Structure formats: structure tokens, C-alpha cells
A and B are shown apart, each in its own frame.
Chain A
């Protein structure tokens, strides 16, 4: 099973403060540990929400709101995708993570299990839906390869 390990934002991360040298080194060691154990599938850090935007859908209307966003603690600052045997193992890996906001600061990691196609009833998630979804990912991948 897969879990997404989500790093919650903090005032510091939202301010765009660069992480300390120590934190970068600790994170590198942690990432290596994940790779060496064969559990890391993917992961990235995110820039502050001031560099992002929201697209809101309501009553048939679409509205775009530029960042930054106020509710800092609900924002996402980064993520890992890991493949593990159980939720307990995902928790055990998360506990080994250095405090993502640096020693002494308040950091939160949220663990969420990744849904697999089998988790949706077929009438909700049809092969056609899946095809469209894949196409979108394919496009995203091409864009990532040729920025």
C-alpha cells in the first residue's frame, strides 16, 4: 500500500525562509534512508502558497484566487510517496523524519493512504474515466520533461 506523507506548512515555510543547513543535511540523510530501504516512490518540496493559486468551483462558476492563503497550518509544504506494508509502518517511517520545520519549531506530518482504482466502485470510476486521468498525467509528465 502507498501512503502520502504530507508536510504541513508553517509561518516560516510560508514566508519562504530557506531551511537551515542542518535541516537540509538531516533531510538528505532521511531521504537516503527511505531510498536505501526501498520504500520511497516519489517526493518533492513545495514553494510558499504566495507562488500558487486556487481555483474555486461554486454554483457553476469558476473563480481564481491568487495566493498566499491565510490558513497556514492547513497548507501543504511538501510530500513523500512511500510504499509500505501497513499504516503502522508508514507511521514508523514518519516518526524517523527530522522535524520538517527544523528543531524547536512546530512541524506536522500528515499520513494519508493513497486510493487505488480498486477502492472505487466500477460505476463511479469507469475505464473511460481512468483513461482520461491517465492522459492528464501523461501530459503532465511530458510537460515536466520539456519545461
Chain B
């Protein structure tokens, strides 16, 4: 093995071990920042040793033992400093014997709790959304600062700064390393799911020319989502989010055409949808549903995605069910954008007039003033109702609002068809 190869192998092992390592250390030293530094020290030691000695039989235990030795040194040093103030730090012996985790320990209870605490602290509400995202990818996703920077199109020092500041904020706020209990748990879990979905969407919106690290964020988010499924198996929304991401990811290959142009859902070549991910998405949705209770926003969106996934052809889509799911979603998380999607589903299920009625109800919504999809959908529905002149005006208005050149061309072409007095082959919503 050449040196760079050996280093890559060490990093790969570290990526697998990092979350459990940091979580375990954080419980001992009660400081996530310090825990992460200790883990990094252990990585450096591994990079020095393993290329010569080979990867140890139980790399997790090796890394933990190494990090613990540093932790003890660190605490001793601190005690020397603090002795004058008589503020004794925790006794190094309190760290306990350096008992390594069992060779192939699954997430047994203590490890599970450590990981959960780490998830909740990385997504703590005292942190900004950006900080939560960076910290989560760093601590739980095992990504390096450089990888995060490349994925988010940011300079590396910016991300490094963000992480340093986040750790400082957590320390200053004396955020306890614990799993929130009771009513707090739901709210805090919401913050975790938000971060994971944010990572997913960041990857999903990546375009052809982007660094491959960007689309890879989808896989990172999927992995985090699946991890959460194992950690919090009784929370329906955790499975809902996993289902939503698996189902959306299943369409990744079909979302763009040969020259990188976006392909709308109903026009996608469904044979390019990933059957394995669909299967996993449907299974996760089933788990969410089996847990009972009304579906939450993620599970509802997953259920909508599932309707598309189950339809072998666009024409076979169960639009009445999608419309009903959007009704539920609009009730739970009312927003003009959800309302517009509901209008499209209603139009597909019950005809353009019914859809237009809903669109007109939100036509004056201030937050949609610059949203080109509003006139675009409205124009499409008007065209289907044979109101070609009005349709043309709406589509042209939409064309003037979009910043995407290809989309603008499409809209103008549709407007031109309307001007000639025919609905043309409407491309659907």
C-alpha cells in the first residue's frame, strides 16, 4: 500500500468510528469541542501508526484508548492550572478504566444514548442553522472541514470558523450533554430533522457542473436519516423524513436530461427511478404509518412522493389521494406554496376549474409576488379551460419572473402556443 492509499484507508476507518468515538468522549469530558479535538488527536496518531502497523483488529477500541490517554493528560494539565483556584476538575480516574467497546458492538443502550446526545447537541437551538449543519456533518457525518466547505461552495476557513464558533457557543451556553426529555424532545427532534433535510436539499439542488461533493450531500443526509431511524425508532417523523429522502433520491437520475436541463416530475423517464430506493422509501413510510397517529409534515410529503413512486406511468398517478394529502399538509403547515401545490393536485384530480379556484384564492398573496410558478400554473390551467388570451398573458408574466433561461424559453414557447389559440400539449404542472 502506498502512503496516500494507507492514509485514505485510515480516514475511511475513522469516518466509521468518529460518531461513536466523539459521542463516548463527550460523555466523559462533558465538552463536545474537547471531545472532537481528542478524536482528531487520535486520528493523527492513527495516521502515524497504522500505515506501519496495519489497521488494528479493533480500530474503535484503539482510537478510544488513544483519545482517553490524551483526555487524562489534558485533565491533569488543567488541574495543575486550576489547583491555585481550588477548582478541581474531574478526577482523571473518574474516566474509568479504558474499557474498549466490544469488538463489533451494535448500538447497545449506552452507545445509543451517547450518539443521541451528540445528535441533539450538534443540532441545539442555541446554534444558527448554518452552525448546526456544519457541526452535524462534522461530528455525525464524519466529513472533514474541507469536504463540508466544498459541498457548500464555501471557503474552508469560513467553515472552520463556523465550527469553532459553534463549539464555543455550546461551551459558553453550558449546554448539557443530554437527551431532552418530555415535551422538549419533540421540538428538539424537529430541529434535528430540519438540519438533515437541509443537508439533503443542498445536495438535491446541486447542478451538473458542481463539485461531486455537493450531490454527495444527499447520500450523507440519507445516511444520517437512516442512523436516526435506528436511534429513535419510535418517532414517526424520523421514518417520515427517511422515507421522503429515499423517495426523492430515487428520482435523482431522471431529474435532468442529456444536456443537464431539468425534467419535470411528470415527464421523467420512470424507468430511471431507482427501484431499491423506492422500496426502502415505501418501507420507511410504512413504519411511520404503523406507529400510528396522524402523519406529520415529513410523512405526509413522503406519502405524496409515494403516490408518484407507485404510479408506473404519469397517467396512472392517484391524484385524488395526492390532493387529499395536500389538504392534510395545508392544515398542518399552511403556506402559499403548499396551497399552490394543492391547487395543482386538485386540478389534476378534479379538473382545471377546481384548481383555478384555489390558485385565484392565493393570487394576491404577498409572499408569492415574485414566485414565477404562480402565474405559470395559472396560465397552464387557463389554457386548459380554453381561455387562451389570459393564459398567454400569465405565461409571459411567468417568463419575465424566472431567472432560469431554459425555463424562460419553455414558458415563452407555451405562451406562443396559447397565442395561436390552442392549448397545445400542456406539459402539466
Known interface pairs A32-B107, A85-B216, A91-B12; A38-B276 also in contact (CB < 8 Å): no
Q: Which residues of chain A come closer than 8 Å to B15, judged between CB atoms?
A: 85, 89, 92
Q: A-facing mask of B230-263, CB < 8 A → 1, else 0? A: 1100000000000000000000010000100000
Please tell me which one of the listed residues A39, A95, A133 contacts residue B271 in the complex, with CB atoms under 8 A apart. A133
Known interface pairs A89-B16, A134-B270; A36-B219 also in contact (CB < 8 Å): no
Interface set, chain A 62-83, CB cutoff 8 A to B: 81, 83
Q: Write the nearest CB–CB distance from A119 to chain B, whole angstroms.
A: 11
Known interface pairs A83-B223, A141-B279; A88-B271 also in contact (CB < 8 Å): no
- B272 near A130 with CB under 8 A, answer yes
Q: Which residues of chain A come closer than 8 Å to B230, judged between CB atoms?
A: 32, 35-36, 38
Smallest Cβ-Cβ distance to B231: which chain A residue: A36
Please tell me if B226 contacts chain A, counting CB pairs below 8 Å. Answer: yes
Q: Write the nearest CB–CB distance from A18 to chain B, whole angstroms.
A: 21
Smallest Cβ-Cβ distance to B55: which chain A residue: A95
Smallest Cβ-Cβ distance to A96: which chain B residue: B104
Please tell me which one of the listed residues A33, A39, A118 contacts residue B104 in the complex, with CB atoms under 8 A apart. A33
Q: A-facing mask of B215-232, CB < 8 A → 1, else 0? A: 010010011111101110
- A38 near B271 with CB under 8 A, answer no
Q: Which residues of chain B come closer than 8 Å to A35, judged between CB atoms?
A: 226, 230
Please tell me if B406 contacts chain A, counting CB pairs below 8 Å. Answer: no
Q: Which residues of chain A come closer than 8 Å to B280, judged between CB atoms?
A: 41
Please measure, in the bound complex, the distance between the C-alpha atom of A85 and the C-alpha atom of B8, giving whole angstroms: 11
Smallest Cβ-Cβ distance to B230: which chain A residue: A36
Q: Write the nearest CB–CB distance from B4 to chain A, whole angstroms.
A: 11
Please tell me if B337 contacts chain A, counting CB pairs below 8 Å. Answer: no
Known interface pairs A36-B230, A83-B219, A83-B222; A92-B106 also in contact (CB < 8 Å): no
Please tell me if A26 contacts chain B, counting CB pairs below 8 Å. Answer: yes
Please tell me if A37 contacts chain B, counting CB pairs below 8 Å. Answer: yes
Q: A-facing mask of B1-26, CB < 8 A → 1, else 0? A: 00000001101110110000000000
Majority DSSP secondary structure for residues of A touching B: helix
Q: Which residues of chain B come closer than 8 Å to A85, judged between CB atoms?
A: 12, 15, 216, 219
Please tell me if B273 contacts chain A, counting CB pairs below 8 Å. Answer: yes
Please tell me which one of the listed residues B16, B271, B276 contacts residue A41 in the complex, with CB atoms under 8 A apart. B276
Q: Which residues of chain B come closer than 8 Å to A83, judged between CB atoms?
A: 219, 222-223
Q: Which residues of chain B come closer than 8 Å to A91, judged between CB atoms?
A: 9, 12
Please measure, in the bound complex, the distance between the C-alpha atom of A130 and the C-alpha atom of B270, giving whole angstroms: 9
Smallest Cβ-Cβ distance to B280: which chain A residue: A41
Q: Which of A32, A88, A91 has the most CB of B within 10 A?
A: A88
Please tell me which one of the listed residues B105, B219, B271 contacts residue A29 in the complex, with CB atoms under 8 A apart. B105
Q: Write the nearest CB–CB distance from B215 to chain A, whole angstroms.
A: 11
Please measure, in the bound complex, the distance between the C-alpha atom of A83 and the C-alpha atom of B280, giving whole angstroms: 13
- A88 near B270 with CB under 8 A, answer no
Please tell me if B312 contacts chain A, counting CB pairs below 8 Å. Answer: yes
- B12 near A38 with CB under 8 A, answer no
Q: Which residues of chain A come closer than 8 Å to B216, judged between CB atoms?
A: 85
Please tell me if A16 contacts chain B, counting CB pairs below 8 Å. Answer: no
Q: Write the nearest CB–CB distance from B381 to chain A, whole angstroms.
A: 30
- B12 near A36 with CB under 8 A, answer no
Q: Which residues of chain B come closer than 8 Å to A36, judged between CB atoms?
A: 106-107, 227, 230-231
Please measure, in the bound complex, the distance between the C-alpha atom of A119 and the C-alpha atom of B222, giving whole angstroms: 22
Q: Which residues of chain A come closer than 8 Å to B227, judged between CB atoms?
A: 36-38
Smallest Cβ-Cβ distance to A35: which chain B residue: B230
Q: Which residues of chain B come closer than 8 Å to A26, judged between CB atoms?
A: 104
Q: Write the nearest CB–CB distance from A32 to chain B, whole angstroms.
A: 4
- A88 near B11 with CB under 8 A, answer yes
Smallest Cβ-Cβ distance to A39: which chain B residue: B223
Q: Which residues of chain A come closer than 8 Å to B231, judged between CB atoms?
A: 36
Please measure, in the bound complex, the distance between the C-alpha atom of A28 and the C-alpha atom of B104, giving whole angstroms: 10
- B222 near A38 with CB under 8 A, answer yes
Please tell me if B275 contacts chain A, counting CB pairs below 8 Å. Answer: yes
Please tell me if A15 contacts chain B, counting CB pairs below 8 Å. Answer: no
Chain A to chain B contacts (Cβ below 8 Å), 17 pairs:
A28-B106, A29-B105, A36-B231, A38-B223, A38-B226, A38-B227, A38-B229, A41-B280, A83-B222, A88-B8, A89-B16, A92-B9, A92-B12, A92-B16, A96-B104, A133-B271, A141-B275
* Beyond A130-B269, A137-B275, 20 additional pairs, beta carbon < 8 A: A29-B104, A29-B106, A32-B230, A35-B226, A35-B230, A37-B223, A38-B225, A38-B229, A38-B230, A39-B223, A39-B226, A41-B276, A81-B276, A86-B8, A91-B9, A92-B9, A95-B55, A134-B270, A134-B272, A135-B271
Residues of A that sit less than 8 Å from B by CB: 26, 28-30, 32-33, 35-39, 41-42, 81, 83, 85-86, 88-89, 91-93, 95-96, 98, 116-118, 122, 127, 130-135, 137-138, 141
9 residue pairs, one from A and one from B, having the closest CB atoms: A38-B226, A131-B271, A88-B12, A38-B223, A32-B106, A134-B271, A89-B12, A36-B230, A38-B227
